[in-house]
Chains A and B, each alone.
Chain A
Amino acid sequence: MRIFRILIAKPGLDGHDRGAKVVAHALRDAGFEVIYTGLRQTPEQIVRTALQEDVDLIGLSILSGAHLQLSKKVIDLMKKEGIEHIPVFVGGIIPPDDVPQLLQMGVKRVFGPGTPLSKIVEEVKSILQEGVASTGGS
């Protein structure tokens, strides 16, 4: 069985990376290969990394309130590069009112504060399953 590769990215200027690092650590402990971008990546850099590293999933961590703009930019760029099939999830301080908008953009899951790591790991597995099912397996 192949090992899925997950990109955890911090777009924008926000430097609060505790959540991103903890989630990355948990996913690694759950057996995934995790690439963490480090702070302050532009959407362009994130999409480039996703392409170069051939990842199966992208997680964006945003706590600055700029989640709508930044997620949209990443997703638009992914479309431009033809990698919109790679699922995206978002975590951070996301007001519940903004969740429907993110999902509408194509974000697969939104994880607010206090989400258990076990739930994130489980949901990540299920997102990847969905992906495998829709492409007929690989």
Chain B
Amino acid sequence: MYDKEFLNSLSKKVKEWEEQLQAELKKFPERSERFGSRSGIEIRRVYTPLDLQNTDYLNDLGMPGEYPFTRGVQRTMYRGRFWTMRQYAGFGTAEETNKRFKYLLQQGQTGLSVAFDLPTQMGYDSDHPLAQGEVGRVGVAVDSLRDIEILFDSIPLKDVSTSMTINSTAAILLGMYAVTAQKQGANIGELRGTIQNDVLKEYIARGTYIFPPQPSMKIITDIFEFCSKNMPKWNTISISGYHIREAGANAVQELAFTFCDGIAYVDAAIKSGLDPNVFGKQLSFFFAAHNNFLEEIAKFRAARRIWARIMKERFKVTNPEALKLRFHTQTGGSTLTAQQPLNNIVRVALQALAAVLGGTQSLHTNSFDEALGLPTEESVQVALRTQQIIAYESGVADTVDPLAGSFVIETLTNEIENRVWEYIEKVDSLGGMVRAIETGYVQKEIHNSAYEQQLAVEKKEQIVVGVNAFQTDQEHQLKNILKVDPSVEERQVIALKKLRKERDNDAVRSALKNLKQAAKNGENIVPYVFDAVSVYATLGEITDTLRDVFGEYTESMIL
């Protein structure tokens, strides 16, 4: 970016400056001998153009909306439209969650994001023995199309964009959503939203897998194929680094393992005959925003550049729309503390600001009480207001990629990129991500990183305000913690039993039989799932049908 002569004179100047500094350092030593980020990148005292001598502006940054998209996926970014403010919500029954959705929309939220309870994520109906105690706890309970009809009652699905955090049972929930929208009079080709549908990260970080990796990959490519034909505006996957980060990975590992997952999906889809120029447009990503402000901003910028290069160089994609990395961000749940919970408002604000400076397309801000339980209406309102203050009051959204050209931000962006490539090569050498997961390599890397981080907190190498420094004796007690009514489970089970009686059970049996046959024959199962859903087959019945064909995965123990 700079000419040789200038860099030579600058280099001399920096040397001089360093020499003069030595005497000063003896008198006034720095706070620490070494400054570094959690991903092991050393943070230097000062950055200058010398650090960017190998950066080629046009090739490495380019203009916003152009390859390699380091500066953003759109030309105008937030000058055109703010990111989607999408608060993740769901608890109890569909009725209760429907009320929370309407509350959030009324407060100015611009997209819906559904949290499902664990039985729904695992393919168990609410009356399954393993569902006991879990119904409606960490998300809304969904057993059948009826629940989804109630969940989106009086919310016009043709107008909102909905993100659903659902993986192993994604095809079923997508079916329920699409059928509900049709019943409302919408054309499914117009629907906008995202299903998470990222199963690989379930094996390494989040645990809600059902089937073994190979059939899981098959279901995912079935969804790619179905949506590229029938639901072209729908994001068919949200390849998620968020959970990898929350499980203990550092920023570099978060990107690296997410992209290794992404490569595996693209590979699988190409092998099944799909064109990455087409399905590539419907891939989306999901990252975490943690506390190290500079590193996080650089991470998001590096992420766009790396994915664009993967798609172009590795998969020979030419369609610019399929080279763009679009992503949702959530502030880091695991960074929140139960101690002095109001401090979390500040953490969330900084993390959200990093996401916006990094160019996110959509953002969820955590509520300050989440280390203690599910958020209340009050705490979720503060979280949403945090986004609105950044958007409307801070001015950071008025120019595109405001921190570009900062010596430290560009240097960190480059360093993160280099380290991510090293991991991708390592996983390639192990035979790809599915293989690397099966051997436990990825899980072990993440676990070691989690343990190292905890030890750093114990040794006070890493300060957590209110936890290992600046503690107070009198802990602020939150008066309001959301409790899920224990009668939710009972009500849900009664409704489910009633449904099983009232529906056309012959139609259900026949739909499930067809689904089973299709799964056995290796056909695309999505249309069969949609058929089963529309006659009110339950989530558990559909999953059991697939379990019979595909089997279940058990993890290999890594410690």
Contact = CB atoms under 8 A, between A and B. Distances in A.
Interface of A: 12-18, 21-22, 24-26, 28, 34, 36, 38-40, 42, 64-66, 68-70, 73, 93, 95-97, 112-114, 116-118
Contacts of A34: 559
A84 to B, nearest CB: 21
Interface stretch (B6-14, B331-339, B358-366): B331-339
A93 B372 contact: yes
Contact of A13 (B122, B339, B372): B122
B555 A113 contact: no
Contacts of B484: 65
A112 B118 CA distance: 21
A107 to B, nearest CB: 16
B373 interface: yes
Interface string B365-404: 0000001111000000000000000000000000000000
Contacts of B121: 13
Interface residues of B, number: 46
Contacts of A118: 458
B137 A64 contact: yes
A26 B247 CA distance: 16
Nearest to B455: A117
A97 B248 CA distance: 28
User: Considering residues A18, A26, A64, A69, which has the most beta carbons from chain B within 10 angstroms of its beta carbon?
Assistant: A18
Q: Is the interface of B mostly helix, strand, loop or mixed?
A: loop
A18 B247 contact: yes
A75 to B, nearest CB: 14
Contact of B454 (A13, A69, A93, A117): A117
Given A18-B334, A38-B555, A95-B481, A13 B450 contact: no
Contacts of A42: 130
A105 B130 CA distance: 22
A61 B458 CA distance: 20
A36 B372 CA distance: 25
A50 to B, nearest CB: 17
Contact of B133 (A39, A66, A95): A66
B207 A17 contact: yes
Contacts of B457: 116
A113 B559 contact: no
B477 interface: yes
User: Considering residues A25, A96, A114, which has the most beta carbons from chain B within 10 angstroms of its beta carbon?
Assistant: A114
A68 B339 CA distance: 22
B160 interface: no
A120 to B, nearest CB: 11
A114 B134 contact: no
A109 B371 CA distance: 18
Interface string B429-470: 000000000000000000100110011011000001001100
A28 B334 CA distance: 23
A96 to B, nearest CB: 7
A15 B206 contact: yes
A69 B477 contact: no
B208 interface: yes
B132 interface: yes
Contacts of B207: 14-17, 39-40
B515 to A, nearest CB: 24
18 contacts: A13-B134, A14-B118, A15-B206, A15-B208, A17-B247, A18-B334, A21-B447, A22-B248, A22-B454, A38-B555, A39-B555, A64-B134, A68-B133, A93-B373, A113-B338, A114-B339, A114-B464, A117-B455
